[in-house]
Amino acid sequence: MRRFGPWLGVVTLTFACVPAEEEVIPDPGGGTNAAPVDEQPPPCAFFERVRLGEPTPTPSCPDGACALVRDLRITCPDDPYFGDQTLRVAGGEAGVHLSTASFNGNYLFRADGQGSGSVAEQVPVPQLPLVDPHLVPDGLGRVLLAGVDVGGTLDDRQLLWLLRPSVGGVYFGEPLTSQQAWLDLLGLEVDAEGRVHAWFTEAGSRYHLLEAPSDDLEAEAAWIETLRQSPSQNQSHGPHSLTRDDLELDLRVLGESLRAHLGVDDSEGVVLLDGLSQAPTSWALARKAGPAYQAGGQDDSLEPVALVGLDEGFSLVGPGVSVAIPDTPALPPICFTPEYDAEADSCGDPCVDDRVGVETDAAAVARDRQGRLWVAWIRQQRLRTTSWVKHCATDPKDPDPPPEPPCFCIVEDIEDAGAATVHLGRVELGAASFGELVEVLSFDWAPAPFNVADPEALSPRAVDVQVYGERLSLGVIASGEARLIELEI
């Protein structure tokens, strides 16, 4: 049974997305490299479940320190693949945005206003097959997306694209790389001057892309590409970001330590976690966002902090910071497709996964102006049974088929009666309660994370959190629906 808590008042908003004829939307400079805003994915429905009017304190924040200002449920009943790709959220002056994708295309949603003035809409964007798109505010009330065009298959990654709105608000796409290659996007940021930064890897090398400064708003964007790390240096790199001084900040694993490197010339870095006995299963920087870049924003003296996933669980780590997230052990796959046993004519017994924990990409972290850390995670109670059946490869067109065709095992059925809970916690750095994780919000998330068709795979990034000004945005996604929450912090 799906439980979403008490419905304090319901406003239903729908957005009809009418497919446009395919056309190339020119970029501001009149170039022809723009991606088309072509037929959009199926339209979705919005259900807003907050009391009309003033913000509502959450049950765990009776003092109003984290009042609920938005609780939006997004469903896409006409798209059976909705929720099978990663999710990102970003706040801004024009409201909060949530991006995701499915087999049927890219989705971008925007929500703004409160009560009777609430607005929720599905924003048309170029339909490129992007994997793990990043979403960031640009300081002008807009959001930018970037991702790698996989060319229709995860084994054929091609170009890095940036999607942003033109002066008229229509999103267009511009390629940031020119040669087809296996790429991974490490980070996307907008600096205090409004310039876009992107970091990516190609064939083991790490690159930085910077939008060249220009006073001509109508000119076509130019990009400066710089090699930051070659494969010969053999260092493992994590996500990238910027400090308020526009210094590059990236995570690296060097030997048995996780380090944050501030600036290109910082070879030693700042040790965030030492004595690693395993490579982290995931790592994320506690990113600054939006107005934190502006004068009077976040304190420059704040040390870097990262959310790190290990087998035993997630932790917030940094200089003088070590905060364990309770009850978050890793959930790697344990049910693997067996070899077909020809002698027994069997694929073996079903595999039962009844563990409790958090998947690799089911946790996220953000940092606010005051330096407080906000971490969100999805804790699963699995109850999944996977069974396999024999399948023999036969070709009806083969004039001379083998007497005994090769047989192997394929998934026959997956039963999943598990449940999940979404948690949001806060850590006050430098306060009397330093090191204490205070849970701010939690709710049942009955829809299981999407990837149940392949027991050997993990779900895509299913949760994201970001702070913009005095608002925190929390997004979660599962098969068939997403939920977008905003808190006044």
Strands 130-137 and 313-318, sheet pairing: unpaired
Query: Residue 268 in 3-state DSSP?
Result: coil
Any domain includes 4: no
Any domain includes 1: no
- What is the model's pLDDT at position 350? 95
Closest CA to 100 of 122, 78, 70: 122
Q: Residue 329: exposed, middle, or buried by beta-carbon count in 10 A (0-12, 13-18, 19+)?
A: middle
Distance of CA 466 to the CA centre of its chain: 11
Any domain includes 359: yes
Place of tokens 């490197």: 261
Any domain includes 415: yes
- What is the model's pLDDT at position 218? 57
Question: Which two three-digit tokens encode residue 132?
Answer: 């793990």
Phi (first) and psi of residue 233, to 5 degrees: -80, -15
Query: Residue 455 in 3-state DSSP?
Result: coil
Buried b (16+ CB within 10 A) or exposed e, 35-47: bbbbebbbbbbbb
Task: Give helix then strand counts, H and E, for the chain.
Answer: 0, 35
Place of tokens 């993990």: 458
Domain count of the fold of the chain:
1
Task: Compute the distance between CA of residue 90 and CA of residue 465 in angstroms, rounded to an integer.
Answer: 8
Task: Compute the distance between CA of residue 147 and CA of residue 357 in angstroms, rounded to an integer.
Answer: 29
Contact criterion met (CB below 8 Å) for 350 and 386 = yes
Any domain includes 5: no
Question: Which two three-digit tokens encode residue 451?
Answer: 């990837």
- The CATH number assigned to the domain holding 16 equals 2.120.10
Domain span at residue 363 reads 11-488
Question: Which two three-digit tokens encode residue 197?
Answer: 């930064």
158: left (phi over 0), alpha (psi -120 to 50) or beta: alpha
Q: In what order do the strands lie in the sheet with 119-122?
A: 88-90, 96-102, 105-112, 119-122
Per-residue pLDDT tens, the chain, 489 aa: give them: 222 222 222 222 333 332 222 222 223 333 334 454 567 888 888 887 654 344 555 555 655 567 788 888 898 888 888 877 789 999 888 889 999 887 778 899 999 876 666 788 999 998 887 888 899 888 777 889 998 887 655 455 578 899 988 877 889 888 888 777 788 888 898 887 788 999 998 887 888 999 887 665 556 678 888 888 777 666 778 888 887 667 788 888 888 899 888 887 777 888 999 988 888 888 888 876 554 444 333 444 567 889 999 999 999 998 888 899 999 999 888 899 999 999 999 999 999 999 999 998 899 999 888 888 999 999 998 888 999 999 998 777 777 777 788 899 999 888 888 888 999 999 987 655 556 888 888 888 865 554 555 667 777 788 999 998 888 999 998 877 899 999 988
Contact criterion met (CB below 8 Å) for 300 and 244 = yes
Any domain includes 2: no
Task: Compute the distance between CA of residue 299 and CA of residue 316 in angstroms, rounded to an integer.
Answer: 19
Strands 11-14 and 437-444, sheet pairing: unpaired
Closest CA to 318 of 367, 363, 370, 376: 367
Any domain includes 3: no
Any domain includes 50: yes
What's the predicted TM-score (pTM) here? 0.84
DSSP secondary structure letters along 28-97: TT--S-PBB--SPPPP-EEEE-S-SSS-EE-TT-TTSTTEEEEEEEEE-TT-TTTTSS--EEE--TT-EE
Question: Which two three-digit tokens encode residue 181?
Answer: 């290659």
**HSE-up (13 A, CA, CB side) for residue 128:** 27
Task: Compute the distance between CA of residue 211 and CA of residue 442 in angstroms, rounded to an integer.
Answer: 40
